[in-house]
Amino acid sequence: MADDESLPPPLKVAFEQSGGFAGLVKGCVLDAGALPADESAELRRLVAASGLVVSSAARSRGVHDRRQYAITIERGGKCVEIVCDDGCTPETARPLVAFLAARARPQRP
């Protein structure tokens, strides 16, 4: 039996995608501890590789139909909130956004 120190820290990611041409709102909340092992490992890898370690908000100027993303990462007792759009999503975070967007489902307005 493993002790608590050998376990990865809890990780929960909330994602919301809005805007775009159709203006649909999609989202998901993923708890790494509740996912199958391969998906949990992939989520952890993508979060670590994303470079999203401090809260930030950025939006592209002059373009109104871009998809916008709100990502909240709760990890090891710390919370990081990021708001961005297609034009200013950091390159290192794009694989994480794609992973989350693939799991997002329509949300009620």
Instruction: Enumerate residue ranges in the chain where pLDDT < 70.
Output: 1-7, 20-23, 62-64, 109
Between CA 63 and CA 85 the distance in angstroms is 10
Residue 76: the pLDDT is 86
Residue 23: what pLDDT? 66
Mean pLDDT of the chain, nearest integer: 89
Every domain of the chain and the residues it spans: 4-106
Prediction pTM value: 0.88
Task: Give the model confidence (pLDDT) of 53-75 as tens digits.
Answer: 999 998 887 666 788 999 999 99
**CB of 88 closer than 8 Å to CB of 58:** yes
What is the DSSP code string of 15-61? EEEEETTT---EEEEEEGGGS-HHHHHHHHHHHHHH---S-EE---S
- Cβ atoms < 10 Å from Cβ of 43: 21
